[in-house]
Structure 1
Amino acid sequence: MRLIGTRTHRLATVPYRAAGPGGAPQNVQLEVDHVRVDELPVGCDALLAAGDLQGVAPSPLGGDPVLLGIALADYLGVWAESGLLPPPDRVGVLLTGDLYSAPGADRRGASGPVLDVWLAFAAAGCPMVFGVAGNHDEVSAEQVAELGRDVALLDGDRRGFGDVMVGGISGIVGDPDRALRRTEKDFLALLGRLTTPAADVLLMHEGPTGDRAGQLGRASVRSALERRAPALTLCGHVHWAEPVAVLGDGHIVNVDARAVVFTT
């Protein structure tokens, strides 16, 4: 599953509220971009990748504002009806974590439960929902597994769907006494397991540096991956203005506060 070119184009935007400097709520737009790949998992006509959905938004189905990830899942049916995307039961989902927001979008870096976001994509009928947890997510692999056979929270393990193997590492490098943090040594050890051999798609919350200025990340992760680069690495945690970078003979796509749709 390799990118065909590195240019993305805008499919849609989703308005939402997020905490700005000092925690003041602000109106922003989630960019939904499109990029082509050479193949998709059997059973999918598109893949949607997203992460760092730290905001609240009105659902297109109505009602009170919900977590941005829930609203994004609700948009899948709307976009299918308009012909923008295939039906939700043909759209696989890949999540790179940090899916929580304070209900009033008035506190930056809030942590909380995000199982409802996973549930929203599963309830929409998406054939697969694989992802990792960010450092602000409160969710367990056991909770996620109860949502369906092909719904999985990954952390040092892999799951296959169709003919594509997806590996993932949850959390970030940091103090292991804090939730969803591990030492750099332990992080790189998990990464080594997932790249011997390399998964087709690698999901991480905290990812590698890119290949140009402003594409921040962890240099040690890039060094480890360059030797056995997956075809596609998805990550977030820090925002890139330019979401695509080259990594070995594969690519990184940064989906921090962004959604990217992959089609052939």
Structure 2
Amino acid sequence: MRLAGTRPERLATIPYRAAGPGGVPQNVQLGVERLPVEELPAGCDALLAAGDLQGVASSPLGGDPELLGIALADYLGVWAESGLLPSADRVGVLLTGDLYSAPGADRRGASGAVLDVWLAFAAAGCPMVYGVAGNHDEVTTAQVAELGSDVALLDGDRRSFGGVTVAGISGIVGDPERELRRTEKDFLGLVGKLTTPPVDVLLLHEGPTGDRAGQLGRPSIRTALARRAPALTLCGHVHWTEPVATLGDGHIVNVDARALVFTV
């Protein structure tokens, strides 16, 4: 799962509404881009990674606006029919959390139930859906596990699919008295545990800093990962204009408010 290139190629956009300053709804676009990798899990012809899908969008199948993540899952069939992507049963999914939006896209930082986003990707036929929860997600490991044997919400554990090992840590560093938050010491302890031995893909909601200006994150996470860098670290929580950074002999890819398709 090492990157074979670091310049994303635009494939498509999805129009959606998101809460702007003061909660005023804004019309924005979700960029869908492609990055090449050296290899993919057996059974997959592409991997779709996305996070911080905090908006509502109309499905290409019609109906009322719904969570952006649900609409994104619905687009998989449309893109397969047009030849833009492989069929959904050959597209694995990696989610980095914060998949909720207030129904009217009129409240920033809203928290709520996101199980339906996971369900949408599972129902689309994606062979693998792994992810972590963001600090605004209301979803449990048990709920996600009911969606299929290869549908998993990760938090301090790892799973393997098609010869690729994926690990994940949900939430952010913060007051452990609040949901989906843990102390920095505990967070970094999980980082060390999950990267010994190194994994192919590490999923985080709150990620490390990048290697250039504007790639914000938590420096201590970068320091911890640099010792045993995963081939690919996916994260979100804060937006990077340039989504790719190096980390050791691997890469960080920020998918905050974007969708990236990995193909060989």
Runs of 5+ unmatched residues, structure 2: none
1:15-64: CA deviation from partner (whole Å, max 9, x where unpaired): 00000000000000000010000000000000000000000000000000
**In 2: Cα distance, 1:123 partner to 1:237 partner:** 26
Is 1:97 aligned to residue 73 of structure 2? no
Q: Distance in 2 between matches of 1:70 and 1:234?
A: 20
Are residue 62 (structure 1) and residue 62 (structure 2) matched? yes
Instruction: Tell me how far apart the structure 2 counterparts of residues 139 and 155 of structure 1 sit (CA, whole Å).
Output: 12
Q: Secondary structure at the match of 2:168?
A: strand
Spell out, residue by residue over 1:190-227, the C-alpha distance to the aligned partner (whole angstroms, 9 max, x if none): 00011100110000000000000000000000000011
Q: Match of 1:206?
A: 206
Letter in 1 for 2:125: G
AA partner of residue 153 (structure 1): L
Q: Percent identity?
A: 84
Aligned residue for 1:150? 150
Residue 244 of structure 1 corresponds to 244
Q: Distance in 1 between matches of 2:156 and 2:17?
A: 33
SS of equivalent to 1:81: helix
* Alignment map for 1:16-165 (pairs within 5 Å): 16-165=16-165
SS at match of 2:75: helix
Q: TM-score, normalised by structure 2?
A: 1.00
For 1:156 and 1:193, how far apart are their aligned partners in 2?
8
Determine whether 1:4 maps to 2:12: no
Give the distance between the partners of 1:84 and 1:117, measured in 2 at CA.
Answer: 22
Aligned-pair CA distance for 1:82: 0.2
- Per the TM alignment, residue 5 of structure 1 is displaced from its structure 2 partner at its CA by 1.7
Report the number of matched residues: 264
Match of 2:177 in 1: 177
Distance 2:199 2:110 in 1: 32
Structure 1: which 5+ runs fail to align? none
Q: 1:202 is paired with a residue of what secondary structure?
A: strand
Q: CA deviation at 1:79?
A: 0.2
Structure 1 length-normalised TM: 1.00
Q: Deviations over 1:76-126 (max 9, x none)?
A: 000000000000000000000000000000000000000000000000000
Q: For residues 6 and 147 of structure 2, what CA distance do their matches in structure 1 show?
A: 34
